[in-house]
Each structure stands twice: as C-alpha cells, then as structure tokens.
Amino acid sequence: MILGILKYHWRAILWIIIIIFACLMPGDKLPDVSFFSKIPYFDKIVHFALYFIFALFLMSGFSRQYGKTSAKAYIVSFILALLSGIVIEFVQEKIGRSYDMYDMIANTVGIVVSLSLFNPIKWILRNIL
C-alpha cells in the first residue's frame, strides 16, 4: 500500500514537503525577494502556483495509478490540496507567521484552475511535447 502510494504520488508528496518548508519557515529566514515585492500581489501569485502544481501532481498520480481520471480522483485531489492549504495556513498563525485568508483563496483558485485544466495539460504533454 505505502509503496503504491509512493510509486504514483511521489511528486505530490515531494511538492507538499516543499510547500510545508516554504510556508512554515520563519519569516526572517525567507530569501530576500525585494525585486519581486514590486509586483502587485506577488505572494498570492506564488500561492496560486504552489497549489496549482500540487493539484496537478495529485491528479497525475491518480491518473497513473488507475489509468484514468475519475470524478472521485478530482474530488479527492481537491479535498487533499484544499485541506493541506487550510492546515498550513492555520499552523502558520500558531508559529508566528501571518494567517491570511487571501492566501487560502489564492490556494483554492490555483487548485480549481489546475483541476479544470488537467485533461488539456495531460493531452498537450502526451501529444505535443
């Protein structure tokens, strides 16, 4: 069971570990991105991208595991990604980082867009690239 999960979902597992480290790292340890701070809502763009990729990796794992993309895979991917974002946001508040409802909205939009585009992205990767 564990090896099956790792075989198909290692990308999503690795990505959520990256998200956890990035989001739970103390604020003073984060890299200086002053150049990017001039871009309006840059942090929301980052949240969108992190969860877009996470949901894509989740769906990709289910697609490989079961050979198709079912409604159940979309629902499970959505719930796993959404709950991960919510939990991380609340843990941030407990460890002295800021809680931001708009981060959760950006996460959710990234998840929804990713899952909406999964089949076209999969088709492009399989047939064009």
- Using one digit for the tens of pLDDT, what is the confidence trace for 88-101? 999 988 887 778 89
- The amino acid sitting at 27 is G
* Percentage of residues in the chain having pLDDT higher than 90: 60
Averaged pLDDT, 44-48: 94
Q: Is the pTM of this model over 0.75?
A: yes
Mean pLDDT check: name the lowest of 12-16, 48-52, 67-71, 108-112: 67-71
Supply the mean pLDDT for the chain.
Answer: 89
In which domain, by residue range, is 51 found?
2-127
What's the domain count of the chain?
Answer: 1
Q: What is the 3-state secondary structure (H, E, C) of the chain?
A: CHHHHHHHHHHHHHHHHHHHHHHHCCHHHCCCCCCHHHCCCHHHHHHHHHHHHHHHHHHHHHHHHHCCCCHHHHHHHHHHHHHHHHHHHHHHHHCCCCCCHHHHHHHHHHHHHHHHHHHHHHHHHHHCC
